[in-house]
Amino acid sequence: MKLQKLLSFIRRCDADFSMIAEGDRVAVGLSGGKDSLALLAGLAAYRRFCTSPFELCAVVIDPGAGADFSPLEPLCAELNVPLHIVKTEIQPVVFDARKEKNPCSLCAKMRRGALDGKLNELGYNVLALGHNADDAVETFLLGLIFEGRLNTLPPRSFLDRSGIKLIRPLLYVREKETAAFVNENGLPVIKNPCPADGKTKRETMKGLIDYMNNIAPFAFERVHGAIMNPERNNLAKLFEEFTNKR
């Protein structure tokens, strides 16, 4: 995928959900995975075209699993994006001390807490995460099947406790497209050292989506369209509790 196409998706998402306002200080939650790398490169380029000027930095939460994040330093320097690496002991706490059987929830909460704390320290008011279209559909199916409720990833939300606005500018981008973008541009993907990687219910949802697409070739697009257009599909309250109405 070319940068121009990635930019068109980000611009559309920003326009549809009013993600970035003039003067925002935006921090990308950079894991080193393909999605956050694509988001970083896309927002770095978007600064030049966005009608609402904004600042940009990258924040890496090092969970203490031994990953080497040094390849991200020259990339951020090339993109003219300040990089902040926050060292934590999240993985030892979750897997060694707590021995969590379902570690993803606790890990996500601890990572989010570390991100919020660093953003407040740096004075950044917006957190940009690299969740893509596949993540949104998988989250919707997880909630529907395992919890019996309609739930997905809101494009924009406001975190009252931290005062941070959270945005997801890649919700129109497929996972395969971020992978293609990263490969074509030679971006430095950092291997995920998490022991639970590839062994979660989310992986099961990927298989379910493949099965749905075999039955109905446009199944993914239909579900994604329903999620991203809640009012048209009588799901207007789906994002209501998350959207900042201020």
pLDDT band with cut points at 50, 70 and 90 for residue 231: low
Question: Higher confidence at residue 109 or residue 169?
Answer: 169
List domains and CATH numbers for the chain: 3-238 (3.40.50.620)
Dihedral angle at the C-alpha atoms of 151, 156, 158, 163, nearest 10 degrees? Answer: 140
Q: How confident is the model at residue 160 (pLDDT cuts 50, 70, 90)?
A: confident
**What average pLDDT does range 168-183 have in this prediction?**
97
Summarised one tens digit per residue, pLDDT across range 97-134 is 666 666 677 778 888 889 999 999 999 999 999 999 99
Listed residue (240, 171, 168) closest to 19, CA to CA: 168
Please say if the pLDDT value at position 244 is more than 60: no
Structure confidence at residue 198 as a pLDDT band (50, 70, 90) = low
The predicted structure's pLDDT at residue 242: 52
Give yes or no for residue 241 having a pLDDT over 70. no
Residue 174 Ramachandran class (φ > 0 left, ψ -120 to 50 alpha, else beta):
beta
Q: How confident is the model at residue 246 (pLDDT cuts 50, 70, 90)?
A: very low
pLDDT for 239 equals 55
- Give residue-wise pLDDT tens across range 203-219: 889 999 999 999 999 99
Find tokens 């494009």 and name the residue.
Answer: 155
**How remote is the C-alpha of 49 from its chain's centroid?**
22
